[in-house]
Structure 1
């Protein structure tokens, strides 16, 4: 059967002497694997459409698990991202997160639009940390892992002093904090920002200025939550951590 989809290349791997297999995250079909014949050849007309982060319109034939590309046209190449180490690292993380958390052929038009907007935001020099935080929240929500950020997980109260607990999956108030002694206290500004990011549509994100200390706090909260509730090892996250460790 022949399919026509708009998709983003979230994985690309060599296949045979001159081919590639790409994983597209598409609006219409979700994740789908497609072989691009001749993509590794220098003069191939399909070399560019098989590159990571490329958004395009893809036409392919599919009869089993693997499709075969017939035609493709680029919508956004995102070459700016591929040419910048830091942008490429964060884009790779979002792409791998999408690939590992979502199942095959689970159509999700909203999440597709969020990833598409996230890559555009990186192109436009918007804060890559904030863009990534928002996308993480969106993919957790779509996958059923959204943390409780509106009120205390235990008693449903919203108080001035709140704590974030990866263990219980969200906020704890002062009275309920004994449920998790490792819960992290949240400054009012950090909690407010966390709630805003959880509800933010990346397509509406403007330029945003967040203090480095606040971004570091958010990063630690989000990573601890991911490790507790999802725990899938990602090569791209390891690379990000190595960049942070050595100040790259």
Structure 2
């Protein structure tokens, strides 16, 4: 991130890479956008005059557009002073399932991301959009993998190796509890009301997802039963540790992709 001083501006100017995650009109000529940046985290900025057809900032406010922004920090908002376009993930908008998945990535990121978040979350989000835009795999698998990576980056990675309570092997049966923070043995699971039984294949797939880049998801061929269990694991983690009411997660669960 470059911090600059320019004539005519009393504060600092910041050069960042960013992706537009939300945008709305403000007044007659302006637009306010929520930007996911590589160094400033998730911020709001105003693009003055962006609603005008010939505005050079019009493309800087299109959802899922990506580029280099020059921002001036005001008292309550950043102001976009310059935008160098790189790409727009416009294919996402043509498929309602992909669009809903992208909205889930946005909603989850905004729950855990703050101003001055480091660039790991930004790169994770960027890679997720690329996965959806390129159509290289199933959107459903990205939702699972992205959720596990979010947990990992926030120090909430579930224990998927041995019993979270007694550290014994789980060869004779595997249960999972979000409250416990991972897998449990046949005895310890009795201490957790939210525990449920899962198959070893579910653990294997979850471990694979949190250890590989999204592009490797296309190599997976997952049985329906395993998908159901992974879905249950992900939902229990997100609802317990991040937010019990993630709107887009419910849309994905029901298959109702109208936003």
Same fold (TM > 0.5): yes
1:87: Cα distance to partner? Answer: 0.6
Q: Is the 8 A contact 1:10 1:96 kept in 2?
A: no
Q: Is the 8 A contact 2:199 2:226 kept in 1?
A: no
Residue aligning to 2:235? 223
Query: What secondary structure sits across from 1:103 in the alignment?
Result: coil
Residue aligning to 1:183? 195
Q: 1:38 to 1:83 in 2, by over 3 A?
A: farther
State how far apart, in whole Å, the 1-side matches of 2:193 and 2:236 are: 15
Size of the aligned set, in residue pairs, is 246
37-46 vs 18-27, which moves further: 37-46
1:29 aligns with 2:40: yes
Query: What secondary structure sits across from 1:226 in the alignment?
Result: helix
Query: What secondary structure sits across from 1:239 in the alignment?
Result: helix
Residue aligning to 1:6? 17
Please list every run of 5 or more consecutive structure 1 residues that lacks an aligned counterpart in the other structure: none
Q: 1:123 aligns with which of 133, 157, 167?
A: 133
Q: 1:247 to 1:53 in 2, by over 3 A?
A: closer
Q: 1:54 to 1:187 in 2, by over 3 A?
A: same
1:64 aligns with 2:102: no
- In angstroms, what is the RMSD of aligned CA positions? 2.3
| TM-score normalized by the length of structure 2 | 0.86
| TM-score normalized by the length of structure 1 | 0.89
Residue aligning to 1:41? 52
1:62: Cα distance to partner? Answer: 1.0
1:143 aligns with 2:134: no
Q: 1:186 to 1:77 in 2, by over 3 A?
A: same
Q: Which has the larger radius of gyration?
A: 2
State how far apart, in whole Å, the 1-side matches of 2:250 and 2:58 are: 28
State how far apart, in whole Å, the 2-side matches of 1:191 and 1:118 are: 22
1:233 aligns with 2:245: yes
1:181: Cα distance to partner? Answer: 4.5
Q: 1:209 to 1:62 in 2, by over 3 A?
A: same
